A and B are shown apart, each in its own frame.
Chain A
C-alpha cells in the first residue's frame, strides 16, 4: 500500500476567509430626483434652492466653493487612483417624494423601508433597534429619523441637517465650520460647497442622551457622490453616544463619498462617536468601490471634556480619513480606537491627530491595521503638544497584522512636542498570521475559517470592546468572526 496524499486542506484557509461576498451590494429600484452632472455656482444655487435653505447657508456654500477652486488635491497620502473628474459627478439625488421631506414614517416610500430592513436597520415602530434612534440618509437626503419625540422630551435635538438649517438656524450658524473650517482641506471645502444632508445632534446642558443615536448612510444612485455633513454639539455636562454605519451597492464605477463630521464638547461634556464603515470595497481586481475621503474632527472646547472616536473600517476602495481631537480645554481627553482592514486591492490611509493645547490633556491612540490580498494599510498619525500644553500625555499603539504575502502595512507616526513637561509614548508591532497559530488552533479541532476569525478577532479585541454592543456584534460579523468572549 502506497498512499501519497497531501493533507486534505487544499484551499488556503486565509484566501477563502477573505473571499467573502459583499452582502450589502444590492440596488434599490426607486424613482429619484436627480440634478445633472457637474459642479458650478449654478449647481450650488440649484441644490440650495431645492433644499429651501436660508440665504446664509447659500452664501456659506458659495464662499467654500470659491475657495475650493483655488485648492489642489492632497497628494501626500499613500494611496493611488486615477484622477477624479469632479464634473462627472451628480451632486444631488433624492428619492422622489410628494413633500419636501417625510414628516412621519407613514409617508416614507415602503421600498426605502425595505432597503433599510434588508440592511438590518429596521425603521418602523415595532422592529426598531431597542434603545437606538436612527437617522436614515439615502443618497443626498435624510429619509427618516426615529424616536424624535422621545428625544425632544428631554431637549435633545436629533434631526437631519437640512431640517436643522431651517428649524435651528442659530445653532447651525453658531457651530457650523467652527471645528472643520470650510477651507480646511480640499475635500472638506468640496463638502462645504455641496453637502446635501447628514445628521444634526444637540444635547443641551446637563442632559445625558437617553439612547444611542445613529445615522445609517446608504449610497444607492449611480454616478452620485455622497457629501454629508454631521454636526454634534454637547453642551456643558452633556453626554451622547453616536453610531454611524455605511453601505453602498456594488458598481463597476468608483463613487465618491466626501463627508465632514464636526463634534463640539463644552465643559465636562462627553461624546463617543463610533463608525462601522462598510462601503462597497470594489471587486477582487480593484474594479469599482467607494472613494472615502472624510474629514472628522472633534473639539474638546471645554474643560474636562472628552471625545472618543472608534472606527471599524472594512469597506471602501480607498479610505482617507483621520478622525482627530483638538484638546483645547484643560484636563480634556481624546481617544482614537481603530480597526482598518484592507483586502484585495483596497487602500487605507487612516489615523488620527491629537492636538494638545490645554493643560493636563490626555490622549490615547490604539490603531489596528489588517492587510490581506494586495491590500495596503497605512497608519498616519500626528501628536502635537503646543507650548502651553503643560503636562500633556499621549499613549499610541499601532499594530499591524499581515495576512498572506502580497499585502503591505506602513506606519507614519509624527510627534511634535513643544512643551518639555509632555510625556509621549509610541509602541508599534507588526505580525503575520502565522502558520503556527493556524496549525495550533486546527490541531485543537477548529476549522481553518474559525481559526482565522478567532485570530483576527483577538487582534482587534482592544478596539471592539470600545464599541457599543449592537455595533460590536456587527463589526465582528463583518470581519467574519463568531462572538468571541462569550465565555468568561
Chain B
C-alpha cells in the first residue's frame, strides 16, 4: 500500500528526514515512536504533502502511484488521512458543512454520488454518538473553542466518515486524559480492518495499550533505527529514549531502514 524508500526531507534547509524507509501493507498497524525532534511529525506532514517541507530525495509509492507528485487534496481523496496533532480552527465555517464538503470531495473522486444533507446528517449523527460528541458540535465552527479532547474527537469523527485506506495519527494522544484517550482509541480500533492500514505516531507507549500495533518502529535522527513487534514499545518505556540516540549514532553511516 505504502512504500517509503530512502526518504530525505528538509525544512528551511535543515535536514530532518535522513534516509527513512518503511513499508506498510493493508491491514497493518504501525507505531512510530521516537524522541522529540526525531522527525515523527515531519514524516506525517511530508506524506500529507505540506509545502513547507522539501523532499530532497527518495521515493514514496502509494497504491501504485508516485505519492510525492500528487497534490495535497488528491492524496486525501485517494484515501490518505492525517489526524492532526493540533487541529486547525476555521471560524464561521460550521463543522457540518466542513465534514460534508470533505466527504463529498472524496466521493466525487471515487465516482460515487454526493451525499445530500439529509443522508449526511443521519450518518454523521450516528458516528458522533460513537465517539461521544454532542450534536451541537455539528453547528459550531470547525474546532473553534473546542477543548483539546474535543478537537481530537473531531479528528476521529472525520476519519470515521472519510473511511481512509491509510490513516496517520500524529500524536493523537497528546493532551488527552485517560478517558478521552480511551474514547479516541475505541474510535480508531473500530476502523481497523484488513483493507485499512494505520500509522500511529506517538511519544508515549501509553496509547499503544489501547491501539495495539503489529509493528513498532523507533525513529531517531530522521531514520528508523530499530523495528520490532509491540514488545519494542514496552522496552522503550523501560529504557527511555537515551538508548535510542546511541543506536542512531551507531548507525550513522549504514542508513539501515526497516521493513515490515
Contact = CB atoms under 8 A, between A and B. Distances in A.
A442 interface: yes
B92 A457 contact: yes
Contact of A8 (B48, B69, B162): B69
Interface residues of B, number: 51
B119 to A, nearest CB: 11
A445 B72 CA distance: 8
A445 B87 contact: no
Nearest to B161: A444
B92 A439 contact: no
Interface residues of A, number: 37
B198 interface: no
Contacts of B84: 440, 443
Given A5-B68, A445-B162, A440 B88 contact: yes
B68 A440 contact: no
Interface of A: 1-9, 434-437, 439-448, 450, 454-455, 457-462, 484-488
A446 B73 contact: yes
Nearest to A448: B73
Given A446-B105, A487-B117, A435 B58 contact: no
Interface in B57-78: 57-59, 66, 68-77
Nearest to B118: A487
Contact of A3 (B66, B102, B117, B120): B66
Contact of B97 (A2, A440, A486): A486
Closest 3 CB pairs of A and B: A458-B92, A445-B105, A444-B102
22 contacts: A1-B59, A3-B68, A5-B55, A5-B69, A9-B72, A437-B90, A442-B49, A442-B71, A443-B72, A443-B84, A444-B76, A446-B102, A448-B73, A454-B90, A457-B93, A458-B91, A458-B92, A458-B93, A487-B120, A488-B96, A488-B121, A488-B138
A9 B90 contact: no
A440 B87 contact: yes
Contacts of B138: 488
Determine which residue in B55, B72, B98 has the highest number of CB atoms from chain A within 10 A of its CB, and name it: B72
Contacts of A437: 88-90
Given A8-B69, A9-B72, A488-B121, A444 B158 contact: yes
B141 A7 contact: no
B52 interface: yes
A488 B71 contact: no
Nearest to A450: B101
Nearest to A486: B117
A436 B88 contact: yes
A311 B101 CA distance: 28
A454 B88 CA distance: 14
A441 B90 contact: yes
A444 B79 CA distance: 10
A445 B109 contact: yes
Contact of A9 (B51, B52, B87, B139): B51
A1 B90 contact: no
Contacts of B117: 486-488
Contacts of A5: 55, 66, 68-69
B93 A454 contact: yes
A443 B93 contact: no
Interface string B81-118: 11010011111111011101110011001000000010
A440 B98 CA distance: 11
Determine which residue in B50, B97, B100, B106 has the highest number of CB atoms from chain A within 10 A of its CB, and name it: B97
Contact of B71 (A7, A444, A460, A462): A7
B5 interface: yes
Contact of B70 (A2, A8, A441): A8
A487 B52 CA distance: 33
